[in-house]
Amino acid sequence: MQPYKRRLRQLRLPLFLCQLRMARSPRTSQNNQNNRNFRPIKMSPPPLAVREKLREERFGTVWKEDLHDVFVDVAPYYDRANYFASFGLWGWFLRNFMSLIELRPGQRVLDVCAGTNAVGIALLGREPSLEVHAIDRSAAMQEVGRQRAQARGLEIRSNIGDVHVLPFPDNHFDVVTLQWASRHLRVRDLFTEIRRVLKPGGRFHHCDMLRPGNPVVEKLYYAYLRGSLAVTGLFFRSGSAAWGVKKYFIDAIELFYSADELSQVLSELGYRDVVAKSLLVGMIGMHRAVKPMANGTTE
């Protein structure tokens, strides 16, 4: 094993980019103004009943405007940057996620916020007979994903658009996956839309960075991420326009859900058999949920 790879495996720490680019310089006046727009968030988040409303009020402009430019810049080196920033854990996260997904030959699968098609490629690697569809708002990310799939001789049907309004009929997919994106989306609207396009008995698999829930872990986690984002951005020489979302990246996690809270949200939206798995003391959460049959069962 090469020395640097051995070192990466020894330093398995929760440091990752997760669909955000960084900037060359933190000291432009515009970026400083953007940072001032985000007020400190208390360590105890608001109740679930008002969480989504507050998230959209606070971050809606970033979601609609700023993140598009982030993905345009980060697309060419997105996977390499995340592997670097996570000290090799990036592939481990994907393998853990894949281990929870049950597949059968010929199933129709949708990967939401597909990015560079890492999930779709992994799914087809396990079951080549799948019909895999991908949707993402970023044409730049999907172009990289198309090239990656094509290089492996795989077909993934790409769609560019708003994932809150999926361009598919009701009861259409056997499996829907979503990884590394919910923090930047209207969760309840999206999960409801995913439930619509799932067939009765179909399964939704979700993975994202979550709020750990333990105050001590949270403080250490956020402090670590603040430093790690800067290091990764400088190493990959990301564009300067994205520095204004650096603080957003931390704030979005602080106002997001813990694993238990996300399980509750899924249940409230009508999913059944909700199962959660946490990694790294709750920093990463994975969920599986089933759309019930017409009679209310999941079989």
| Tens digits of residue pLDDT in 236-279 | 666 655 566 778 888 999 999 999 999 999 999 999 999 999 99
Domain spanning 3-290: CATH 3.40.50.150 = yes
CA angle 179/284/189 to nearest 5° reads: 45
Length of the chain, please? 299
- From residue 152, alpha-carbon distances to 81, 128, 138 in Å are 21, 12, 22
pLDDT at residue 28 in the model: 40
Report domain extents, the chain: 3-290
Mean pLDDT across 224-228: 81
Q: How confident is the model at residue 136 (pLDDT cuts 50, 70, 90)?
A: very high
Q: Tokens in use for 49?
A: 């009943």
* Backbone φ, ψ for residue 147 (5° rounding): -65, -40
The per-residue pLDDT for range 70-105, each reduced to its tens digit, is 888 889 988 988 888 788 899 999 999 999 999 999
- pTM for the whole structure: 0.83
Measured distance CA(221)–CA(254) in Å, rounded = 10
Measured distance CA(22)–CA(148) in Å, rounded = 23
Residue 24 φ/ψ region, left for φ over 0, alpha for ψ in the -120 to 50 degree band, beta for the rest:
alpha
